[in-house]
């Protein structure tokens, strides 16, 4: 067994502790909202701080995660794929096997318990690919709460299946036609709803972005991914992995995997952004790789913006990565060089989609396919006794239509 298996607390270096009490990750994060939202966000922060370690809350959350979500998700050794790539051993954290088919539900089961304890009767959320919308509509159906989901008009068209799932679950799906008609505009519209209905409404943000306390709260709920993965790899291999790989849109699945490993300095961390048609074309969704810092949606982070500070349209084959910002903690991890942020193009992600489907019999989400594409490059460069854990953040059922269309197949 290597030294890597020591707990972070036994190391001499300072333990990573972010954000500060006002939600800052270095210069990033914070609380950049209109005045009407300041007090509601403070109330949310206080409620979250109170409940997150409160025994009955923790017990109910743990129970829901195991009995409703189906956790722990397996850490699957992808033997065929490993053999094919002829490099590091690849383990897949199977978030695709969660109830509703992605990691998003880890966060919604947590936030809905908080909403209930705060006495909120109405739930709103934004969604891009529809996975967070479905995960939110699901927990609302279970608890009998009114649910309104904001979704860009363009995303509604490319993710029709998820739209129907949300409606089956009893949610109202509102088509957002302002701005670029995608995830960022859905978030704007959800914020406008929240500020208008602040008294009875709880806003479940789906990614580790937005104003404080959302980036920290979403990270904490998603960290179950990394905590389990750490225990599982220690049980299965007797040591920590050498590398973690996850795709990044807003970055919630990635921070969920990365966070419990941040103090384990031997573990390399790779976040994979969507290079779309190529960073050089400008048609991408890779703010960490090709953007610069700015302020949007309540926090300071890396953004896709023009020289006048206007947010520019993004492109990715995957709706879930089609976002011009990124969670502020990723911005910080980039600046302190704790994580490496890379990007892969649409066509590479599509190759990854087909590869995993064929060699392992697992159809991945197009978002996760970006991580797959990067592992295909990384693993062959590593030694055979090294270990990669990749977050398979969601299943690909929702993307079948998109992939078929690209492959020239009509149903």
**Which parts of this chain interact with other proteins (CB under 8 A)?**
22, 30-40, 178-179, 184-185, 188, 191-192, 195-199, 292-298, 300, 303, 305, 307-312
Least separation in angstroms between residue 327's CB and other proteins is 17
Query: Measuring CA to CA, which residue among 297, 300, 285 is closest to residue 331?
Result: 300
Query: Measuring CA to CA, which residue among 162, 110, 165 is closest to residue 139?
Result: 110
Residue number, 66 or 177, with CB nearest to other proteins: 177
Query: Measuring CA to CA, which residue among 347, 337, 374 is closest to residue 284?
Result: 347
Phi then psi dihedrals of residue 25, to 5 deg: -110, 90
**Which residues, 6 or more positions from 63, have their beta carbon under 8 angstroms from its beta carbon?**
none
Residue number, 21 or 410, with CB nearest to other proteins: 21
Contact 129, 104 (CB under 8 A): no
Active site residues: 104, 126, 393
Least separation in angstroms between residue 205's CB and other proteins is 13
Residue number, 39 or 358, with CB nearest to other proteins: 39
Task: Indicate the pairing of strand 243-247 with strand 201-203.
Answer: unpaired
Least separation in angstroms between residue 147's CB and other proteins is 21
> Measured between alpha carbons, how far is 210 from 300 in angstroms, rounded to an integer?
9
Q: How many helices (H) and strands (E) does the chain have?
A: 16, 14
Total Cβ atoms within 10 A of residue 15: 9
Residue number, 188 or 368, with CB nearest to other proteins: 188
Least separation in angstroms between residue 191's CB and other proteins is 5
Residue number, 50 or 192, with CB nearest to other proteins: 192
- Paired with 396 in beta bridges are none
Angle at 312 between CA 309 and CA 314, to 5 degrees: 145
Burial class (CB in 10 A: 0-12, 13-18, 19+), 77: middle
Residue number, 149 or 363, with CB nearest to other proteins: 149
Report the b/e string of 176-205 with b at 16+ CB within 10 A. Answer: beeebbbbbbbbbbbbebbbeebeebbbbb
SS3 letters across 259-270: HHHCCCCCCEEE
Instruction: State the angle between helix axes of 104-117 and 131-143 in degrees (0 to 180), rounded to the nearest 10.
Output: 40
Least separation in angstroms between residue 361's CB and other proteins is 42
Least separation in angstroms between residue 319's CB and other proteins is 18
The token duo for 15 is: 């333990």
Residue number, 152 or 260, with CB nearest to other proteins: 152
Alpha helices (H) in 238-335, listed in sequence order = 252-258, 287-290, 328-335
> Measured between alpha carbons, how far is 200 from 213 in angstroms, rounded to an integer?
19
Residue number, 39 or 231, with CB nearest to other proteins: 39
Least separation in angstroms between residue 372's CB and other proteins is 32
Least separation in angstroms between residue 296's CB and other proteins is 6
């Amino acid at each position: 067994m290597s030294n890597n298996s020591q707990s972070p607390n036994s190391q001499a270096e300072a333990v990573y502790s972010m954000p500060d009490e006002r939600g800052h990750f270095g210069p990033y994060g914070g609380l950049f909202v209109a005045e009407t939202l300041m007090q509601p966000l403070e109330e949310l922060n206080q409620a979250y701080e109170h409940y997150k370690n409160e025994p009955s809350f923790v017990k109910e959350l743990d129970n829901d995660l195991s009995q409703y979500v189906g956790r722990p998700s397996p850490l699957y050794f992808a033997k065929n794929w490993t053999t094919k790539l002829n490099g590091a051993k690849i383990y897949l954290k199977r978030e695709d096997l969660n109830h509703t088919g992605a990691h998003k539900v880890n966060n919604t089961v947590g936030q809905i318990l908080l909403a209930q304890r705060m006495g909120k009767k109405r739930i709103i959320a934004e969604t891009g690919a529809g996975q967070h919308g479905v995960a939110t509509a699901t927990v609302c159906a279970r608890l009998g709460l009114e649910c309104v989901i904001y979704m860009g008009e363009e995303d509604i068209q490319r993710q029709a299946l998820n739209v129907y799932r949300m409606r089956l679950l009893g949610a109202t799906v509102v088509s957002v036609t302002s701005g670029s008609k995608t995830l960022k505009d859905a978030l704007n519209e959800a914020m406008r709803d929240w500020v208008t209905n602040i008294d009875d409404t709880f806003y479940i943000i789906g990614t580790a972005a937005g104003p404080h306390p959302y980036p920290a709260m979403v990270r904490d709920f998603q960290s179950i991914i990394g905590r389990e993965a750490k225990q599982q790899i220690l049980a299965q291999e007797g040591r920590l992995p050498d590398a973690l790989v996850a795709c990044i849109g807003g970055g919630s699945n990635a921070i969920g995997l990365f966070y419990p490993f941040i103090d384990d300095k031997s573990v390399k961390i790779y976040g994979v952004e969507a290079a779309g048609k190529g960073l050089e074309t400008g048609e991408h969704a890779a703010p960490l790789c090709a953007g610069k810092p700015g302020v949007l949606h309540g926090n300071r982070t890396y953004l896709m913006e023009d020289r006048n500070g206007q947010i520019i349209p993004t492109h990715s084959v995957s709706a879930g990565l089609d976002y011009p910002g990124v969670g502020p903690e990723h911005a910080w991890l980039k600046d302190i060089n704790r994580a490496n942020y890379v990007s892969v193009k649409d066509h590479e992600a599509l190759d990854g989609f087909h590869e995993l489907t064929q060699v392992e019999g697992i159809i991945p989400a197009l978002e996760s396919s970006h991580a797959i594409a990067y592992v295909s490059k990384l693993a062959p460069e590593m030694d055979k006794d090294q270990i990669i854990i990749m977050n398979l953040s969601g299943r690909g059922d929702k993307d079948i239509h998109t992939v078929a269309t690209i492959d020239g197949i009509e149903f």
